[in-house]
Amino acid sequence: MLNPSESSVSATYGPSTASIKLLTLAPELPSSTALTTALTQPPYNIRVSLGHSTASYATGLSALQAGATCLTHVFNAMEPLHHRNPGLAGLIASSSSSEVEKKEETKPACYYSLIADGIHLHPATLTLAFRADPTRCILITDSIEVAGLPDGLYPGNAQVAHPQRKAGNRVTVEGTETLIGSCCGIDDC
Closest by Cα among 137, 140, 189, 145 to 171: 145
For residues 105 and 41, give the distance between their C-alpha atoms in angstroms, rounded to a whole number: 16
- The active-site residue out of 117, 142, 151, 188 is 142
Closest by Cα among 78, 4, 1 to 39: 4
Q: Are 173 and 162 in contact (CB under 8 A)?
A: yes
Q: How far is CA 6 from CA 52, 61, 72, 107, 117, in A?
A: 20, 21, 21, 22, 35
CA angle 89, 92, 93 (to 5 degrees): 115
**Does 187 participate in catalysis according to the annotation?**
no
Report the catalytic residues. Answer: 142
